[in-house]
Amino acid sequence: MGKLTMDKLVALCKNRGIIFPGSEIYGGFANTWDFGPVGVELKNNVKRAWWKRFVQEDNSCFGLDAAILMNPKVWEASGHVQSFGDPKMDCKNCKTRHRADTIIENFSKGTVSAEGMTNEQMEEYIAIHDIKCPVCGKRDWTPIRKFNPMFTTSRGTLEEDADKVYLRPETCQGEYVNFLNVQRTMRAKVPFAIAQIGKSFRNEITPGNFLFRTVEFEQMELQMFCKEESSMDIYNKYKEKALQFVKDLNVKEENLRFHDHDKLAHYAKAACDIQYNFPIGWQELNGIHHRSTWDLSRHQEFSGKNMSYTDPITNEKYIPNVIEYSIGADRLTLLLLCEAYEEQELEDGETRVVMHFHPAIAPYKVAVMPLIKKTHGEKAQEVLNILNKEFMTQYDESGSIGKRYRRQDEIGTPYCVTIDDDTLNNNTVTVRDRDTMEQIVLKIDELVEYIKEKVKFN
Ligand code: GAP
């Protein structure tokens, strides 16, 4: 059946209340998206599943919600002020800005990595291969420059005493600067982790791949503080754990792969991405990085605060190594939308679009439908009031039952409950399964337990 394209996904998301273009009535605002009533449930469920797996189920991991605006010195310590920047060039003809490394990688269909290239080497490659602007088709590039994608704002009431502050481009710095606070208050022993979910902002210039790269996005980041001796084992453990998490969300193994980095930052001991086969090709889903003692040492240097940990048994004092696991909530949501999508030809010759979300992340768990509004509507409302105490529940009484099923299939609702004469006579309902389309009959008072069991994320 039809192959998924980003355009198809954008249209489905817009029509079904999942994701709308940002500021649409003003003609939009590039690389921003608004999550609609269905999408907000989906993304919240994605974040909940991540938190459950990595924080709730791991007693050595502690949650955090740090401020977006941080002391600007944080970004000097992290290196963002000086060097954070992607190699960018502008097309002089159509005035669009592009990442030179992406242009090369797309041109070579992923066979050439620009990871280790200097700006001069990239310019030479682009000239030799006569690579043109993907927007206007001309080759009229500016030289490649580093571009700092941190958004700035100012603090202070008067223009003249305003201090420049940054919107954070990553959440993890909140975890580093709170290392001592969390360790002390939670009486945490190394190895332990700090995790948070929050917004990050980057002044990204992108060719518009929907949620893949946006200027405002949520990150789910976890820093594991550990001793050097155990750090490689922990790094490898997080690689596997991160992969297992995505597989447990019903993502097929053949669509996932590890990509170990050849070129490492000078302080890093190892780095790896998990990539997914998006409709735009194999791309990074998340990163797992062995960052040695770099982050805590830099914050010690710039803040003047001793960031060492003291082992309570041996009294040894040291700055822990950090293993970072970082994944975008929006990017994972995009992946799950791609993975869930199916156009299925039915026996009667019709086609249905169905989103096979893992039930735990499905925006709505169940839909209640009276077979005939007039006859069964009141009873259906009673069932709705039982179910919506436990689950996000939709109510749909308009159109044929077939059409109502199709609407739920398109937003991935795993169960539809139909209220008919048998419900009035025997208190039984028909429960239809989204994936198999099979129907079973259950007593109303069995419904909550039945659905609860099915929508768990383990
Ligand atoms: N603290 C490390 C860090 O921020 P990163 O590779 O720049 O590393 C981590 O980002 C993850 O955040 C990426 O793997 C991706 O899932 C997500 N991400 C990064 N930039 C993004 C953007 N502009 N839009 C959406 N997600 C993004």
Residue ranges of domains in the chain: 6-79+148-337, 86-142, 364-454
Classify residue 187 by its DSSP letter.
T
**How big is the chain by its Cα radius of gyration, in Å?**
25
148 Cβ inside 6 Å of ligand 1:
no
Cis before residue 143, ω within 30 degrees of 0?
no
Atom 20 (ligand 1) nearest CA: 213
Reading the block at residue 189, the tokens are 């022993």
**Given this model, what pLDDT does residue 84 score?**
58
Looking at this protein, which amino acid is placed at residue 387?
L
**Given this model, what pLDDT does residue 1 score?**
60
**Given this model, what pLDDT does residue 163 score?**
85
Region of residue 95 (left: phi > 0; alpha: psi -120 to 50; beta: else): left
Q: CATH fold of 364-454, please?
A: Rossmann fold (3.40.50)
CA of 77 to the centre of ligand 1 (A): 19
Looking at this protein, which amino acid is placed at residue 138?
K
The rounded distance, in Å, linking the Cα atoms of 380 and 401 is: 14
**Given this model, what pLDDT does residue 441 score?**
98
**Given this model, what pLDDT does residue 156 score?**
81
The rounded distance, in Å, linking the Cα atoms of 148 and 260 is: 26
6-79+148-337 and 364-454: identical CATH topology: no
Q: How many CB atoms lie within 10 A of CB 101?
A: 18
Give, in order, the Cα–Cα distances in Å from 10 to each of 5, 33, 278. 9, 10, 14
101 Cβ inside 6 Å of ligand 1:
no
Q: ∠ CA 264-265-268 to the nearest 5 degrees? A: 80
Q: CATH fold of 6-79+148-337, please?
A: BirA Bifunctional Protein; domain 2 (3.30.930)
**Given this model, what pLDDT does residue 85 score?**
65
The rounded distance, in Å, linking the Cα atoms of 323 and 171 is: 15
221 Cβ inside 6 Å of ligand 1:
yes
CA of 87 to the centre of ligand 1 (A): 16
Atom of ligand 1 nearest to the CA of 206: 23
Query: What are the pLDDT tens digits along the chain (458 aa)?
Result: 668 999 999 999 999 999 999 999 999 998 999 999 999 999 999 999 999 999 999 999 999 999 999 999 999 999 888 765 678 898 888 767 788 998 998 899 878 888 788 899 999 999 999 999 987 889 999 999 877 779 999 988 766 667 889 999 999 999 999 999 999 999 999 999 999 999 999 987 665 699 999 999 999 999 999 999 999 999 999 999 999 999 999 999 999 999 999 889 899 999 999 999 999 999 999 999 999 999 999 999 999 999 999 999 999 999 999 999 999 999 999 999 999 999 999 888 889 999 999 999 999 999 999 999 999 999 999 999 999 999 999 999 999 999 999 999 999 999 999 999 999 999 999 999 999 999 999 999 999 999 999 999 99
The rounded distance, in Å, linking the Cα atoms of 333 and 212 is: 9
**Given this model, what pLDDT does residue 34 score?**
98
